Amino acid sequence: MKILKLLNKKSLSIFFFSLIIFSTNLQSEEEPVDIWKLEKKVEENNSNVILENEDFNDDNIEIDNNNLNSLIDTIDSNLLSEKVNIVGLYDPEENGLNIDMWSNSNGSEIKFILNKINKMNLSKDSEEILNIALLTNSYFPQKNITDEEFIDFKLNYLINNNNNELIKLYLIKNESSIHNSKLIKFYINSYLENADLENACEIFNELKYFDDDYINKFNIYCLINQNNREEAQLLFDLKKETGFKDDFFEDKFNFLMEYTENTDNKISDKSILNFFLSHRTNPDFVYKPNKNTPKFIWKYLSSSNLLENIDSIDLEDSENISLIEQATHEKNYEEEELFELYKRFQFNINQLLNVKESYKLLQNYEGRALLYQRLILTKDTTELLDLSSKLKQSFKKDNLGNAFNNKLKEILSTIEEDDVPSNYSSFYFENISTQKLKEKETKINNKIIHQSKLLKYFEEENDINKTQEDLDKLLKSIKKNKDYFVSTKDLILLESLISDGIEIKKKYKNMFKFDQSIIPTDLQMLLNNNEAGMILLRLVEIIGEDDLENLDADTLYFMTSILNKLDLDSIRNKLLLEVLPLKI
């Protein structure tokens, strides 16, 4: 037994009630804890508390410490059992979804289809649907998948998408998630690799707590760099209290805080932060990369102008030149620099005149230099295309294809399309720089249902009453045309209008035959089980690498039928406006 001083019956009640309220506030709003049920448990578990009066009497106030621990454990157990985890970016209502979109789904099937999707080079249309599926706030699926696995798919999607603005938004909106370390590290590292310390550190103004040594080290450096030394020292001391030990970082920390005059000049490429600190604390920093140098180091060296100057490279150093070609392929060297290097090679007149045979007798990188020098000297279109093609093939043969992308587009852009010989047309169109197409305007054609002004409803320009009026007028006109052929796209539009409450009058119904069995069996089963999330993943898989406009009409029909049944009007409208209108 333990005597609790200065504690009366009233203060004990307040303490326990406050503890319950505080713990309850940690829960999601969607599933509040039953406070009265917990309070009842408090009374049942507190049978050993002896309080005979409300006076401060030390001898009469007793409490069993074991019971207090048991009480706290009981509260914690209740909170954990009723805890709801939700992570995402979009409100479900934005796209007509609900928070239970994954609740009925089998985790094994989710993992299978997501792993399959991750191997695809998805089209823009597919990515938009996948973005909604993965980043909408929702409860987690409960069968055959852990919370960590499901969240990891979300994080990997954000990382692969490589959109730092989207990542930042996600991190801020899900600040309390315990699974964010992987994403935060990617975010800060991606900026630091590009020598952008300001943006890397800026995230720490939004996020305040990190249970990760690497992130905390990064944060400490940012605080030092921003001259917030007291805060940096406090955070460092807190880490030391938890057993943190990193000799390399401590050495840099002491030097940057000006506790020591010198630092170990050893260069560490264990992480981008270590490499950056090696550079930051050494005024005589020099680092020569090799073929085993990590890509993030190459990127940092390039972004920080620390790579060897092209003019000083020894043309006899074949290993170094090959390394530069590889770095260019991986976008760590600028293409322009590589081709400036090629221009430094010396060739005789015979080699230049007989380039198509001469380049084969040289080392690969020398052959490419010869082809390039001859290429920039020629004015003949056929010759220019031929040499460009041979140079591109030489790069591809050595798995360096990306080293000759921008420069090739620049060369081909000097050739008019009409001047390209037929035997080079494929090469030309595969590699020519494609200018961004102007957004096409929609042309209204009231002689065809799916191209008529009914489309304005899906653009949210007309209300339902106006659309009903327009539909009646259009069907009256169409019925008079005995030769009119009702297409699948017409049915797609009409079925979508019906789904939203617009009616086809009885006298026009025999003009149309809607196919209720068009939805594939597996998708119908998902519909029956209310698995909206899985359905979106299946649609992503079906669209895959194709643009919506290239899908056949039957596929579009069952896709829109599914979206209608799920009331996913926002997604459906985007699809309809992509595939139905005549655009000029």
Q: What pLDDT digit, counting tens, does each position of 77-110 carry?
A: 443 334 446 788 999 999 999 999 999 999 999 9
Q: Please, are residues 401 and 385 in contact by the beta-carbon 8 Å criterion?
A: no
Specify whether 460 is located in the same domain as 553.
yes
* Predicted local distance difference test score (pLDDT) of residue 368: 96
Residue 384 predicted with pLDDT over 70: yes
Number of domains making up the chain? 3
Mean pLDDT of 398-423: 92
User: Could you tell me the two tokens for 75?
Assistant: 């509260």
Specify whether 446 is located in the same domain as 408.
no
The residues with which 50 forms a beta bridge, in sequence order, are 62
- Of 41, 142, 16, the closest CA to residue 84 belongs to 142
* Strand residue runs (E) in 206-284: none
Distance CA 580, CA 458 (A): 11
* Predicted local distance difference test score (pLDDT) of residue 440: 56
Element holding 583 (H helix, E strand): strand 582-583
Specify whether 47 is located in the same domain as 75.
yes
* Predicted local distance difference test score (pLDDT) of residue 345: 95
Distance CA 475, CA 467 (A): 12
Residue 22 predicted with pLDDT over 60: no
Residue 505: what are its φ and ψ, rounded to 5°?
-60, 150
Q: pLDDT-based confidence at 46, cuts 50/70/90?
A: very low
Residue 141 predicted with pLDDT over 80: yes
* Predicted local distance difference test score (pLDDT) of residue 198: 95
Q: pLDDT-based confidence at 155, cuts 50/70/90?
A: very high
Q: Give the ranges where 118-212 is alpha helix by DSSP (H).
A: 124-135, 147-161, 164-173, 181-193, 197-202
* Predicted local distance difference test score (pLDDT) of residue 153: 95
Contacts (Cβ under 8 Å, ≥6 apart) of 250: none
Mean pLDDT of 290-299: 90
Domain assignment of residue 10, yes or no? yes
Q: pLDDT-based confidence at 10, cuts 50/70/90?
A: very low
Q: How far, in Å, are 85, 157, 182 from residue 174 at the CA level? A: 10, 16, 13
Specify whether 407 is located in the same domain as 447.
no
Specify whether 392 is located in the same domain as 469.
no
CA angle 472, 474, 476 (to 5 degrees): 70
Task: Give the three-state DSSP class for 419.
Answer: helix
* Predicted local distance difference test score (pLDDT) of residue 582: 79
Task: Give the three-state DSSP class for 423.
Answer: helix
Specify whether 354 is located in the same domain as 455.
no
Q: pLDDT-based confidence at 309, cuts 50/70/90?
A: confident
Domain assignment of residue 193, yes or no? no
Domain containing 481: what range? Answer: 442-583
Distance CA 334, CA 338 (A): 7
- Of 548, 541, 553, 551, the closest CA to residue 515 belongs to 553
End residue of a domain, out of 431, 452, 478: 431
Residue 72 predicted with pLDDT over 90: no
Mean pLDDT of 259-279: 94
User: Could you tell me the two tokens for 553?
Assistant: 């009409």
Q: pLDDT-based confidence at 400, cuts 50/70/90?
A: very high
Specify whether 419 is located in the same domain as 446.
no
Specify whether 576 is located in the same domain as 454.
yes
- Of 68, 87, 84, 65, the closest CA to residue 26 belongs to 84
* Predicted local distance difference test score (pLDDT) of residue 496: 95
Distance CA 47, CA 63 (A): 9
Q: pLDDT-based confidence at 438, cuts 50/70/90?
A: very low
Higher pLDDT, 183 or 67: 183
Domain assignment of residue 274, yes or no? no
* Predicted local distance difference test score (pLDDT) of residue 516: 74
Distance CA 257, CA 237 (A): 13
pLDDT above 90 covers what percent of the chain? 70
Pick from 78-92, 170-184, 299-313: least confident: 78-92
Per-residue pLDDT tens for 517-571?
Answer: 889 999 999 999 999 999 999 999 999 999 998 999 999 999 999 999 999 999 9
DSSP per-residue codes, 465-510: HHHHHHHHHHHHHHHH-TT----HHHHHHHHHHHHTT----HHHHT
Specify whether 447 is located in the same domain as 562.
yes
Residue 28 predicted with pLDDT over 70: no
Distance CA 520, CA 559 (A): 10
Domain assignment of residue 29, yes or no? yes
Mean pLDDT of 144-172: 94
Higher pLDDT, 8 or 363: 363
SS3 content of the chain, % helix, strand, coil (to 5): 60, 0, 40
Half-sphere exposure of 22 (CA within 13 A, CB side): 8
Mean pLDDT of 112-129: 94
In eight-state DSSP terms, residue 354 is T
Judged by phi (left if over 0) then psi (alpha if -120 to 50, else beta), residue 448 lies in beta
Residue 396 predicted with pLDDT over 70: yes
Mean pLDDT of 418-435: 84
In eight-state DSSP terms, residue 439 is P
Domain assignment of residue 100, yes or no? no
Q: Please, are residues 236 and 253 in contact by the beta-carbon 8 Å criterion?
A: yes
Q: pLDDT-based confidence at 584, cuts 50/70/90?
A: low
Domain assignment of residue 529, yes or no? yes
In eight-state DSSP terms, residue 513 is -
- Of 399, 485, 442, 381, the closest CA to residue 577 belongs to 442
End residue of a domain, out of 81, 97, 115: 81
Specify whether 386 is located in the same domain as 329.
yes
Residue 203 predicted with pLDDT over 90: yes
Task: Give the three-state DSSP class for 169.
Answer: helix
Please enumerate, as own/partner, the contacts of 378-387 that have beta carbons within 8 Å and a separation of 24 or more.
381/415, 381/419, 381/420, 381/421, 382/421, 382/424, 384/411, 384/414, 384/415, 385/412, 385/415, 385/420, 385/421, 385/424, 385/427, 385/428, 386/356, 386/424, 387/355
Alpha-carbon dihedral sign for residues 125, 127, 132, 138? positive
Higher pLDDT, 351 or 40: 351
Distance CA 296, CA 302 (A): 10
* Predicted local distance difference test score (pLDDT) of residue 471: 94
* Predicted local distance difference test score (pLDDT) of residue 441: 66
Distance CA 407, CA 400 (A): 14
Specify whether 427 is located in the same domain as 447.
no
* Predicted local distance difference test score (pLDDT) of residue 177: 85
Distance CA 159, CA 485 (A): 48
Domain assignment of residue 147, yes or no? no
Specify whether 508 is located in the same domain as 564.
yes
Domain assignment of residue 177, yes or no? no
Mean of per-residue pLDDT scores for the chain: 84
Residue with tokens 């999707």: 117
Residue 353 predicted with pLDDT over 80: yes
End residue of a domain, out of 81, 111, 132: 81
Per-residue pLDDT tens for 262-271?
Answer: 998 889 999 9
Helix axes 488-499, 553-565, angle to 10 degrees: 10
Q: How far, in Å, are 27, 32, 160, 228 from residue 79 at the CA level? A: 7, 9, 35, 38
Q: pLDDT-based confidence at 240, cuts 50/70/90?
A: very high
DSSP per-residue codes, 290-349: -TTS-HHHHHHHHHTT-SPPGGG--TT-HHHHHHHHHHHHTTSS-HHHHHHHHTT----H
* Predicted local distance difference test score (pLDDT) of residue 208: 80
* Predicted local distance difference test score (pLDDT) of residue 310: 84
Give per-residue burial for 438-456: e unless 16+ CB within 10 Å, then b.
Answer: eeeeeeeeeebbbbbbbbe
Alpha-carbon dihedral sign for residues 341, 347, 351, 352? positive
CA angle 503, 471, 567 (to 5 degrees): 50
Residue 578 predicted with pLDDT over 70: yes
